[in-house]
Amino acid sequence: MKKSKAMLYSFNIEKERVLKNHPEIKDVYDSLELKYKFIEVLIEYRMKNHLTQKEIAEKVGLSQQKISQIESGKVNPRIDLVSKIISKLGMEVTLNI
């Protein structure tokens, strides 16, 4: 019996494929791009620094549940909360318009 190998794929390649082939999804994605970019940066920071959600929460003065909700996209943090997280973590943000 032949064993099948699991195929690995790149998230970015798949994302680009979906956005290219589905203009209605791209419109929604574009409207949420800033939110998801912040989520991506927050998760990357946490992983790069080997921190748990709880440790991030303690650094910024939030609950672990709130960090989880932000990272999963379940909540839309206001700009003042985003600013607080960025400041407490010593991060810098550049906004290009």
pLDDT digits (tens, 9 = 90+) for 26-56: 999 888 888 888 999 999 999 999 999 999 9
Asked, for residue 4, whether it belongs to a domain, the answer is no
Q: By percentage, how much of the chain surpasses pLDDT 90?
A: 63
What is the pTM (predicted TM-score) of this model? Answer: 0.69
Asked, for residue 56, whether it belongs to a domain, the answer is yes
Asked, for residue 36, whether it belongs to a domain, the answer is yes
* Residue range 3-31: mean pLDDT, rounded: 83
Q: What is the pLDDT of residue 29?
A: 86
* Residue range 51-64: mean pLDDT, rounded: 97
Domain harbouring 55, CATH code: 1.10.260
User: Structurally, how many domains does the chain consist of?
Assistant: 1
Using CA atoms, how far apart are residues 82 and 90, in angstroms rounded to an integer? Answer: 12
Asked, for residue 95, whether it belongs to a domain, the answer is no
Using CA atoms, how far apart are residues 52 and 64, in angstroms rounded to an integer? Answer: 9
Asked, for residue 53, whether it belongs to a domain, the answer is yes
